[in-house]
Amino acid sequence: MKVLGIDPGYATTGFGLIEADRGSYRLLQYGVVTTPKELPFPQRLEILHSDMLELIGATKPDASAVEELFWGHNITTGIGVSHGRGVILLALQQAGVPIFEYTPMQVKQAVVGYGKAEKRQVMDMTRRLLHMKEVARPDDAADAIAIALCHARSNTSLLSRAMNQGVK
C-alpha cells in the first residue's frame, strides 16, 4: 500500500510517500509544494491545487493521510492554512484517493507511542522506522512523512485488519 502523507499549508505543503507492507515501511519520496508569496492568495490556491493534482498523478497513492489543523496563536495564518487544506482535500477527492485525517496527537501516538511526544522525538522515530540516514528536511516534509507513517501503522494494525474483515 502506498500512502501519501500531507502536512497542509498554502505557502509550503509537505508531502511524504511511503510504502507499507505487513509491518515494514519504505520511504519512496518526499518534498514540499510551495507557492510564490508575491502572488495574490487565490492564485496561490490555484497553483497549490494544480501541483497537488500533478503530485497525486505522478505518485498514484492508494491512500492519503492529511493532518488535521491545530489552531495555535496566529488565527490569520490558521485561516490561510485552512483554505490550503481545503484545496488539498479537493484535489485528493477529485483524484479518487481515499482520505484519512489525523490530529497531531494521533500522529505522535502512532509513531512514537506517546501522544504528547516532542516534535524531535517524532522526527527521530520516523527516521529510525524508515531506516533514513538523517531526518528529512524541511520540517514540513518530515511532518508529512510522519503523517503517512501514522496511517500505515494504524491501517496495518491487527485491530484495523480485523475490523476491515468484519471480525469483532
Q: Which residues are catalytic?
A: 7, 67, 140
End-to-end CA gap in the chain: 24
Report the phi/psi class of residue 17: left, alpha or beta, with left for phi > 0 and alpha for psi in -120 to 50: beta
- Cell 508569496 sits at which residue? 37
CA distance 66 to 82: 12
CA distance 87 to 108: 25
CA distance 86 to 89: 5
Angle at 85 between CA 83 and CA 90, to 5 degrees: 95
- Cell 490556491 sits at which residue? 45
